[in-house]
Structure 1
Amino acid sequence: MKNVKTYLEEKRDSGVMPTLKELINKTKNSSYISFDIFDTLLKRNVKNPSDVFDLVQLKLGEKELKFKEKRIEAEQRARQKSSTEISLDDIYRCYNADNSLKNELKAIELDVERECLTVNPYMIDFFNYCIKHKNVYIISDMYLSSDFIEKILADNKITGYKKLYVSCKYGKTKRDGSLFKLYLNQNSINPREAVHVGDSWRSDYIMPKKMGIMALHIPRIINSENIVFHGETININYLNSMINNSIEIETTSYYKFGYQKFGPFLWGYVQWLHKKLKENNIKKVYFFSRDGYIMMKAFNYLCRDQDIEVHYLEVSRRSLRVPILHFDHTFNTIMGMVSPSKRVSLISIFDCVGLDINNYEDLLMKYGFSKKESFDRKTISNNVNLINLYKELSTDIEKKSNTEYASLVSYLKQEDVKGKFGIVDIGWSGGMQRFLIETLNQLNIDNEIYGYYIGIANYYTRNTMVMPNLSLHGYLFDFKNDKDAEDKRSSFVGLFELLFLEQNGSVRNYITKQNKVVANRAPYEYIINGKETIELKAIHEVQKGALKFIKNASEDSILSNLLSYSADELFEGLKETGQHPRKKDLILFSEFRFFDEGEIHQLANPKSMFFYIGNPQKFKQDFLLSRWKIGFMKRLLKVNLPYQQLYLWLLQFK
């Protein structure tokens, strides 16, 4: 029965929040307006008010065990003893502890209340409108003192009201109507000219209506709010509430995705990164372009550490890979450098060695290849025509490599890349770290490089076989340092990587301008005819939302100093979209283009099932080329299935 009652109460207290225009229209004939405070003007970043006591317990640790249970019992005893409304002092008089501890507990509780209270984004604009056009009062049933509440309201920029009525100060309550009666009498207000706004069905709606006051019941639980992270712990409880209480109301779907899902994950990563840098005594860190750009911005928001130099190094796989090929550019070496995907395209091979395939059409024709040719990785080394074609490229590869090696060396020396330092990139196998070390070693430049990545995939061995002592560290998964690791992004790798894009073209090589070595960038793929594409605008919004979350999280003392989260917990929002996409997720991202190693593919845009029935090989090819395989399958089949399990099963047939 208790569960049924709770369910019915939550249904009653849930709903769609009225718009500002609707609120103004409903109160246009009222001269006086009163507001409830908690869950109306202010929201707590917890699901239920008593969850505040869980946060107090975290601050207390083992100093006072079972605090929540004891605190609830003390309030019950205080209410049983009093015929009027109680105060926080009354509650702690009934708490079983010595006076010194009680005073400490009360102080910590007040601190936690202050820290987890925030303005209700759905109500603040309406409140400010009323301040300009109405006589505004604030009325609350609460055991916290009026002085404390006034300070909290002021801290949240809720000011300009006529008077604050708090039940514990007057010994009267909204719940029995006596506090409303006092408010009306003291201010000579005709109840027919007044309206009250609040979330409690009885205290803020039924009772004022009985007093003749118009009442607006606003939902305590907003239907449009998302539960992004699932779990019953206070950590998850607080994170969900903080997200819903702090996100701007009028925003794009991409901004919301960034704020609710990408932001928390990026926030967790840069906290982990800062911790690892400290553990390894790293004083200098280079964020690699392009994926490292958003990570560097997030890091600078959170970790303005005077002891760590932060640099942005304009490098790419191509700009580091091509220069070292003059040491070794055998075909087998190249196969260890291109994308580890099942199909290896001819375009990606040319891109790997820094040559433009469009300049070799006669050579392709000589060996019977087209520019769209691709090969099965398992049998590619047995393709005689391909091997012979590659041999004919040898002179051009070496010439290109020698030229780019000299300019890379100048750039690295200019940027003072030497000694002990960390590098930051998205991942996944440490190839760029290996290429950089090989270059520095050839120059006899001392180096001790620690690589910090979102994840280390199982194919990291392609680089450790060449360089066994690579120092690689992964946040979300780490096959090098964890034998039980799981690649959590492989089924939507393209979607995941797009979130990190810098708003600029990839680094091709280096040139000298005005006596300075600078990166020579390729044209940005997501700007066409001088105009930003839909993808670019969307990713900009995603990153804007993510950085706003990180800014808000850095200013939230409970998130920053009290609670902790695992990488898996903070990955849940992205994982939900990537592995279990809903229709709106597919609409947002599935037709985005993904550029990699000279190739262009859409994330998840299959042809029809009818087409694939007649062309099964085309299905296999399109599926393997898709960079969001779960999205591909769901768009194709259009029904809810265990797609992640289906994807893992299909991997057996690569």
Structure 2
Amino acid sequence: MSLKQYINKKRNTAYMPSYENLMDKINNYENVSFDIFDTLLKRNVKEPTDVFDIVQRYVGKEYPNFKVKRIDAERKARSKSLKEEVTLEDIYKEYPEENIEKLEFLQSIEMKVEEEILTLNPYMYDIYKECVKRNKKIYIISDMYLPKEFIAKVLEENNIKHYQKLYVSCEVDKTKKSGSLFKYYLDENDIDSRTAIHIGDSWKSDFYSPKNVGMNAIHIPLYIKNEVNIYGTDSIETNYLSSFVNNKYYENDDKYYKFGYQKFGPFLWGYVTWLYRKFQENKLDKVYFFSRDGYIMKKAFDAVYPKNDIDTYYLEVSRRSLRIPILWMDYDFDTVLDMISPSKMVSLKTIFDGVGLDIRNYSSLIKEYSFNVDTKFDRKNIKNNSQLKKMYSELEKDIVSKSKEEYENLKKYLSEKNIHGRFAIVDIGWSGGMQRYLEKTLNKLDIENDIYGYYIGVASYYKRNMRESNLNLNGYLFDFKNNPNSSDKRSSFVGLFETLFLEQAGSVENYSEQDGAMKANRLPYEYIIDGKEMPEVRKVHNIQDGAMEFIKDVMKNRFIFNEMNFSSDVLFSGIYQTGTSPNKDDLALFANFGFYDEGEDAKLANPKSLIFYIFNLKRFKSDFLASRWKIGFMKQLFKLNLPYERLYKLLLNFK
């Protein structure tokens, strides 16, 4: 960035005036004129010339150095012209290409890109609507080389319709910058300049020029102070995506909806587009999305690919519903430990839940072995606990009985769902346990199967599910099976991440025959207590609504998004920032979320006081290990800006 550009950016960076402040100034004027670009509409790029980088994505190698040539063509057109303003056609006459058809093609692509990247300015749209409501006479005035018809079309597409007239400099050969376009507008409409006010982002064209002809004017900043570039501006992809989510007009101010749109939506979209590519590569035409995390995944996939040659199904399964039915084949204590949560601390509740037994029915047995329902064991030495193993041996008869009962019902359910042959399964991850259980069941039933598992991530502990067969596992965000050097990017906030995918229904417990068909029996939804929904239900719903709205908007902008090469790391970076570097707003959103998994429930990040832990170090360790958002836990505890991700990795060494 040159010194001139730096100074100009600093000069054009400020806080946006408040709605009340703007309306107070506008209210005294009968005639209100708006600039278009970077005022009523914003481009989903940081600089206007970034448009040419996107055009280059389309035109490719056949038109090398398009951006440089396009900028130079405009410079030449302006230097040669005797008019105040040039047209897009004038510019392309100076482009170094003699073939008329190719020039027309380039011109059409540029306008197509402009159409897709233009969107409502969320700050100014409310002002415009209020002016309409107050019956102000509204005029739209722009210095622009694009055709008036094109601009009118874009305005209408963005619901800007209720204005008197549209003035475009290239159509009348007059500009705001010189002041001649403002004079023309005032004269043509017989407007007293003292009754008119103009709003725009350019100091020269939108502030000084209208004032020089007797109008009032309001300057709004081109760059909004403290606006966060969620995805950065290092490339045209991140530049575009950051602008796309920042420029969104939100009808309401729900922070969960906004999080869903800005952070969850891009990642969800990236995941389902990756899935589609993988299905195509492997010629898969039958896909089962696993409940519950697969619910929003399937919804997103079907929205992005509504008409394709891949049949998608929603399979109501859970770790429990697939795990319990196969335990009678192998219920060894070590086997069960490999099937349940890989957490450092293993609770007695989790063990009972893992074998499908209700811990409340075994209180006498638990007491006999000097345990209680809240007892937890360190995974490092749990296999050496003789008392626990003895107690477990007394459960074996019940485990086998429960398992065989559920096996018969699972067999019927899978048969009805036509689960056989070559197909894909989709879930959140992390080690392929459900794929292992399903494959084992199908093999036992002599049902031919060739399962391709697709997951958001394949964690380093996937090997515990590879002892009986080499599962076909594929991870989007990280994949330790196919790339041992992967990095597990969600381990410090796994609970927070998984919460985003929740279906608003209980986990599948087992299956039974109802009305002549096998149905999945759901456990009570964890977030409904005594018939009353907890706040998390609506919050997760709003997050997912925001994510689906993002995907809906992407479908309107496929022309650009299909040409962008977004990596999984880029699309994950918004969620990653919240998970690993949470600010006060992030903590307010998620710290007190309840999280339920394998018989355990806790808040995501709800530590006791620092003073308490100073005198209870063991409790700090147990609470920290139990937290499913460990960095959020530490930030809530210490309240300081510390390198929490490094601290988290350091603490893992002392597990």
TM-score (norm. length: structure 1)? 0.97
Match of 2:384 in 1: 382
Contact 2:420 2:447 (8 Å CA) reproduced: yes
1:544 aligns with 2:559: no
Contact 2:369 2:391 (8 Å CA) reproduced: yes
Counterpart selection for 1:189 from 177, 185, 191: 191
Return the alpha-carbon distance in structure 2 between the equivalents of residues 108 and 294 of structure 1. 34
Residue 221 of structure 2 aligns with an amino acid whose one-letter code is: P
Contact 1:16 1:224 (8 Å CA) reproduced: no
Return the alpha-carbon distance in structure 1 between the equivalents of residues 592 and 66 of structure 2. 52
Taking the TM superposition and a 5 Å limit, the aligned residue runs for 1:130-145 are 130-131=131-132, 133-145=135-147
Moved more, 264-273 or 207-216: 207-216
Contact 1:122 1:249 (8 Å CA) reproduced: no
Q: CA deviation at 1:29?
A: 2.8
Return the alpha-carbon distance in structure 2 between the equivalents of residues 541 and 7 of structure 1. 41
Equivalent position SS for 1:540: helix
Q: CA deviation at 1:82?
A: 2.4
Match of 2:154 in 1: 152
Equivalent position SS for 2:455: strand
Equivalent position SS for 1:286: strand
Return the alpha-carbon distance in structure 2 between the equivalents of residues 591 and 104 of structure 1. 55
1:342 aligns with 2:344: yes
Match of 1:45 in 2: 44
Moved more, 128-137 or 356-365: 128-137
Change (3 A) 1:546 1:364: same
Moved more, 345-354 or 99-108: 99-108
Return the alpha-carbon distance in structure 2 between the equivalents of residues 153 and 584 of structure 1. 34
Contact 2:260 2:543 (8 Å CA) reproduced: yes
Return the alpha-carbon distance in structure 2 between the equivalents of residues 635 and 650 of structure 1. 16
| Alignment deviations for residues 378-408 of structure 1 (CA, whole Å, 9 cap, x no partner) | 2111111111100100111111111111111
Match of 2:97 in 1: 97
Moved more, 449-458 or 507-516: 507-516
Return the alpha-carbon distance in structure 2 between the equivalents of residues 611 and 344 of structure 1. 24
Return the alpha-carbon distance in structure 1 between the equivalents of residues 7 and 477 of structure 2. 36
Q: CA deviation at 1:162?
A: 2.3
1:287 aligns with 2:289: yes
Q: CA deviation at 1:102?
A: 2.8
Contact 1:346 1:373 (8 Å CA) reproduced: yes
Taking the TM superposition and a 5 Å limit, the aligned residue runs for 1:391-540 are 391-467=393-469, 469-540=470-541
Q: CA deviation at 1:125?
A: 4.0
Contact 2:116 2:560 (8 Å CA) reproduced: no
Match of 2:28 in 1: 29
Return the alpha-carbon distance in structure 1 between the equivalents of residues 231 and 7 of structure 2. 20
Taking the TM superposition and a 5 Å limit, the aligned residue runs for 1:315-334 are 315-334=317-336
**Runs of 5+ unmatched residues, structure 1:** none
| Alignment deviations for residues 518-562 of structure 1 (CA, whole Å, 9 cap, x no partner) | 111111110122221122221111111111111111211244321
Residue 385 of structure 1 aligns with an amino acid whose one-letter code is: Q
Q: CA deviation at 1:616?
A: 1.3
Q: CA deviation at 1:200?
A: 1.4
Return the alpha-carbon distance in structure 2 between the equivalents of residues 104 and 381 of structure 1. 70
Equivalent position SS for 1:344: strand
Contact 2:186 2:193 (8 Å CA) reproduced: yes
Contact 1:196 1:214 (8 Å CA) reproduced: yes
Contact 1:247 1:259 (8 Å CA) reproduced: no
| Alignment deviations for residues 390-434 of structure 1 (CA, whole Å, 9 cap, x no partner) | 010011111111111111111111111111111111000000000
Contact 1:141 1:168 (8 Å CA) reproduced: yes
Counterpart selection for 1:163 from 162, 165, 169: 165
1:58 aligns with 2:69: no
Number of residue-to-residue matches in the alignment = 652
Return the alpha-carbon distance in structure 2 between the equivalents of residues 508 and 164 of structure 1. 62
Return the alpha-carbon distance in structure 1 between the equivalents of residues 115 and 382 of structure 2. 64
Residue 387 of structure 1 aligns with an amino acid whose one-letter code is: K
Match of 1:3 in 2: 3
Q: CA deviation at 1:249?
A: 5.0
Match of 2:635 in 1: 634
1:274 aligns with 2:276: yes
Moved more, 3-12 or 583-592: 3-12
Return the alpha-carbon distance in structure 1 between the equivalents of residues 597 and 517 of structure 2. 29
Moved more, 107-116 or 339-348: 107-116
Residue 396 of structure 2 aligns with an amino acid whose one-letter code is: S
Match of 1:351 in 2: 353
Moved more, 532-541 or 213-222: 213-222
Match of 2:222 in 1: 220
Return the alpha-carbon distance in structure 2 between the equivalents of residues 542 and 476 of structure 1. 20
Q: CA deviation at 1:196?
A: 1.3
| Alignment deviations for residues 468-516 of structure 1 (CA, whole Å, 9 cap, x no partner) | x211000000000012111110011111111111101111111222112
Moved over 6 A (4+): none
Return the alpha-carbon distance in structure 1 between the equivalents of residues 286 and 158 of structure 2. 38
Q: CA deviation at 1:233?
A: 0.7
Residue 478 of structure 2 aligns with an amino acid whose one-letter code is: F
Change (3 A) 1:616 1:125: closer
Match of 1:619 in 2: 620
Return the alpha-carbon distance in structure 1 between the equivalents of residues 106 and 344 of structure 2. 60
Change (3 A) 1:63 1:640: same
Match of 2:602 in 1: 601
Return the alpha-carbon distance in structure 2 between the equivalents of residues 389 and 412 of structure 1. 34
Contact 2:233 2:242 (8 Å CA) reproduced: no
Change (3 A) 1:642 1:479: same
| Alignment deviations for residues 560-603 of structure 1 (CA, whole Å, 9 cap, x no partner) | 32112010010100111111111211111112111111011211
Residue 621 of structure 2 aligns with an amino acid whose one-letter code is: K
Return the alpha-carbon distance in structure 2 between the equivalents of residues 89 and 364 of structure 1. 84
Return the alpha-carbon distance in structure 2 between the equivalents of residues 616 and 484 of structure 1. 34
Return the alpha-carbon distance in structure 1 between the equivalents of residues 2 and 285 of structure 2. 57
Match of 1:18 in 2: 18
Match of 1:568 in 2: 569
Contact 1:35 1:198 (8 Å CA) reproduced: yes
Change (3 A) 1:365 1:160: closer
Return the alpha-carbon distance in structure 2 between the equivalents of residues 263 and 343 of structure 1. 33
Contact 2:120 2:249 (8 Å CA) reproduced: no
TM-score (norm. length: structure 2)? 0.96
Moved more, 614-623 or 424-433: 614-623
Equivalent position SS for 2:653: helix
Return the alpha-carbon distance in structure 2 between the equivalents of residues 317 and 192 of structure 1. 72
Percent of aligned pairs with the same amino acid: 54
Q: CA deviation at 1:93?
A: 2.1
Return the alpha-carbon distance in structure 1 between the equivalents of residues 160 and 132 of structure 2. 10
